[in-house]
Amino acid sequence: MKSLTKLLVIALFFPLNALVAQSSFFIGANGGTNFSKFKHTIDLAELYSTSSSLSGLNGGVEFGLQLSNWTITSGVNYMQKGGNYATDNFSDQNGVGFLSAKERLHYVSIPVLVGYRAPISDNFGFSLDMGPAFNMGFSGKIDENIEYYASEEVTNEQYSVDFGTGVNDDYKSTQVSFQFSPGMYFKLNNRSTITFNFTWDNDFRDAFNQRYKQANTFFDDYKGSQFNRSTVLTIGYEYHINFSDKY
């Protein structure tokens, strides 16, 4: 019986010891650029017939846990979102014209990502991370231009964007997106790693605050939803605290 117990202990100890030897806690920072645009549905897609990307910045701090080739990563990031959009069939009390707008939005983003790292050599490999991100908007602005048909008048307006649950708040205060992030990593040594990631960040649900939509007569004529879509390029640095150094 004692021999069987010893064999079970050995069978459990060696895989666990090997896992600890390949595991670490890491902290780091990242930064880069992104290209964001809006996706509209139903009437809004017909109204805003032209949509293009808006370049922005992103960056922040991250922390995570690596267990062999698997990772769990979170952090706090700043991310710009928004987009350019235009319509050829805009009309108001001043007539019919062409409307173009640039909308830049600012968010604090907290991702919760599960990843896998596939080593190609001792110092280089590919990675894949995915999971939800919780995006909290805190400010934004819209630069809008209208050129009216058969008129030389051009109007230029700038509006602030609000986040919250009130009838005057354009967007929800917190929006959930899904991130899919392939990349690569370079190990400088057993503690320091450089990462490069290409991330798609897509909203789950309509970004508009529903109370705002219900109170605004614009949405009586134009049904539909608006989603944030971002392509993010980042370079990062990780400092690993290896479990094997402690245990």
Q: What is the pLDDT of residue 96?
A: 85
pLDDT computed for residue 192 by the predictor: 97
Rounded to the nearest integer, the mean pLDDT of the chain is 90
Question: For 154, phi and psi rounded to 5 degrees?
Answer: -130, 125
Question: Of 154, 151, 173, which Cα lies nearest the Cα of 162?
Answer: 173
| pLDDT surpasses 90 at 189 | yes
| pTM listed for this prediction | 0.86
Residue 196 corresponds to which tokens in the numbers above? 């490069």
Residue 10 above 70 pLDDT?
no
Rounded to an integer, the average pLDDT of 194-199 is: 98
pLDDT of 172 higher than 70: yes
**Residue 112, SS3?**
coil
Q: Provide CB contacts within 8 A for 82, sequence distance 6+.
A: 36, 38, 54, 56, 102, 103, 104, 105, 140, 228
| Nearest CA among 51, 63, 173 for reference residue 107 | 173
Are residues 62 and 74 in contact, defined by beta-carbon separation less than 8 angstroms? yes
* pLDDT value for 22: 67
Give the domains, in start order, of the chain with CATH numbers. Answer: 24-245 (2.40.160.20)
pLDDT at 166 over 90: yes
Vertex 181: Cα angle to 180 and 187 (nearest 5): 155
Judge whether residue 9 has pLDDT over 80.
no
- Per the structure block, which two tokens stand in for 46? 């017909």
pLDDT in tens, 12-64: 444 434 445 568 999 999 999 999 999 999 999 999 999 999 999 999 999 99
Please, where are the H alpha helices in 147-230? 210-215, 218-221
Would you state the pLDDT for residue 21?
A: 53
Q: What are phi and psi of 68, to 5 degrees?
A: 60, -120
pLDDT, residue 245, reads 59
Task: Give every CB contact of residue 36 below 8 A, 6+ residues apart in sequence.
Answer: 53, 54, 56, 80, 81, 82, 83, 228, 229, 230, 231
Is 163:155 a contact under the CB 8 Å cutoff?
no
pLDDT digits (tens, 9 = 90+) for 106-159: 999 999 999 999 999 999 999 999 999 999 999 999 999 999 888 777 889 999
Dump pLDDT digits (tens) for 70-85: 999 999 999 999 999 9
Strand partners, 128: 116, 182
Q: Which residues pair with 200 in a beta bridge?
A: 180, 231
